[in-house]
Amino acid sequence: DRIEVDYAELEKIIQQLRGRNDHLDQHYNLLLSKLRDLDGNWEGKAANQFFDEMADKTLPAYRRLMHVLAQTQSGLAQVATTMRAAEEQAGN
């Protein structure tokens, strides 16, 4: 059996993941800023429910998504490194 790796394509995917994660990070920080603006200016039961859901569900899910993308990016980079090392070792 033969395994082939397209390093250019792998690097392209890694860069896409990095870009998406950077984009998500910017939006996350913007979202936090907007939440701070709302906090104290919006009161009542609906406000409490909204802030609770954001703190308990939405923001943690957003952070998990960012973490998964970063881990995937890191994992793909490790695959590329491992495959290059294996190719070099096989060539020797």
Half-sphere exposure of 87 (CA within 13 A, CB side): 12
Question: What is the mean pLDDT of the segment spanning 42-64?
Answer: 97
In a domain, 21, yes or no: no
pLDDT number for residue 91: 81
Domain that holds residue 68: 43-92
The number of folded domains in the chain is 1
CA-to-CA dists, residue 85 to 12, 68, 74, 81, angstroms: 20, 25, 17, 6
Length of the chain: 92
User: Which two three-digit tokens encode residue 74?
Assistant: 């890191």
Kindly tell me if the per-residue pLDDT of 45 is higher than 90: yes
In a domain, 13, yes or no: no
Per-residue pLDDT band at 71 (split at 50, 70, 90)? very high
Q: How distant is the alpha carbon of residue 83 from its chain centre?
A: 24
